[in-house]
Amino acid sequence: MKFYSTNNKNNLVSFKEAVLSGIANDGGLYMPVEIPKLPSVFINSIDKISLKEISFNIAKQFFGQELNDEALLDIINSTITFDAPLVPLNDELNILELFHGPTLAFKDFGAKFMANVMSYLNKDLDKEIKILAATSGDTGSAVANGFYKVKGIKVVLLYPSKKVSKIQEQQLTTLGENITALEVKGTFDDCQRLVKQAFLDKELTKHCTLSSANSINVARLLPQSFYYFYAYSQIKDKNLPLIISVPSGNFGNLTAGLFAMEMGLPVHKFIAATNANDVFPKYLETSVFEVKPSVKTLSNAMDVGNPSNFARILNLNNHDYNLIKQKIFSSSFSDEQTKDAIKEIKSKYNYIIDPHGAVGYLAMKKFLDENNYKKLNGVILETAHPAKFADIVESVLKEKVEIPERLKSCLTKKKISIEISKDYLDFKNFILSS
């Protein structure tokens, strides 16, 4: 399958080039030229097949021309090594737990898949790839874990200083080997700007082969559609309308859901749940997309003022504002509302949720308050284990959160990071010198 740039539909490249370059040479993001429709027999019998089988069938639609079945199966088998259970809160609301991977965040799905794909595509090339990834928290740890010790690939992670949780910082700064962490004196948007500028710098791209590992990269984004289908497979009464609430920052997760919808997943409505960084809800209110500086919140992985994947959402819907509004509801919530939601979910359902999932819960509640549904299948994506935000959750609930062993192990390791300004020349000089 060919992929085109969101800036120019005539700018076509192969899957291999889209993955290894990460971003188009005109600054756009890559999109598949078509979203294949999955056979109805696949959708109708989905509850009879495993997550690995679901993943293979979807991946083959996009990558089957350049990855043979054997290679694709190897990648799936080494990527999908953990579950994504649908946990009911009541008869209508469910939590899709996406934190059972190695770094306890949903990004483990896409990061490990992308690392395996890149390793396969690069195996016959006599060159080193340098991955640049901006992170507002969980992307960094997932990418670091996914690419750790992968031959022929070095990773440079950029994260905003003092704007990620302590546990997140420990996860992305303690591995060493082929992973370098840059602590940027700025916001996530500054980190993302530095990465995008680097890809467009011809002097830099001549010096080394650059690629991305954010949801900018199609190999990170597309695997996230797997668990939307898997969530549907776990629903008992599939005749009820399916409403999915997605905690949203850079909008990669929501975009993957929209891809799933285009492939045939019967989603009645998507909900883009945001914190105080509300550029998307404002867009749905006014039809004007106005970039704003990001502000720090308790749900820090969503602290994005200029979401990259908005360009993909526009392209996927032919820049049709009314069509986007028809598919997506969006609302924003404050830190105080987030804290109240954490308390409410524990009190009503005896479930401990992280701040991002709490925002997803609030948006689902608001949507249902404004719309009359007698019965439904509501799915709220829980994108990270609450232990990753233990300081917040424990202060709200006044009780200890159990920390999984694989998370405990990184807390005693030494932080290794390099402080850098948000000035592009400083970043460029670092890449050239390294």
Report the alpha-carbon angle 409-390-256, nearest 5: 90
Task: Go through 186-205 and write b for each residue having 16 or more CB atoms within 10 A of its CB, e for each that does not.
Answer: bbbbbbbbbbbebbebeebe
Q: Which residue type does 260 have?
A: A
- Structure-token pair, residue 261: 């919808």
Rg (CA), the chain: 20
Sorted by sequence, the CB contacts under 8 Å of residue 286 that are 6+ apart come out as none
Check: CB of residue 262 under 8 Å from CB of residue 316.
yes
Q: Could you give the CA distance from residue 23 to residue 41 in angstroms, rounded to a whole number?
A: 35
Which phi and psi angles does 120 have, rounded to 5°? -65, -45
- Structure-token pair, residue 251: 């909008």
Strands 93-97 and 86-88: antiparallel
Strands 269-274 and 242-247: parallel
Catalytic residues: 107
The Cβ-side half-sphere exposure at 349, using a 13 Å CA radius, reads 19
Q: Which residue type does 57 have?
A: N
Q: How far is CA 283 from the centre of its chain?
A: 21
Taking the alpha carbons of 219, 121, 112, 127 in that order, is the dihedral positive or negative? negative
CA distances from 107 to 113, 142, 333 (A): 10, 6, 23
Give the bridge partners for 30, in sequence order.
5
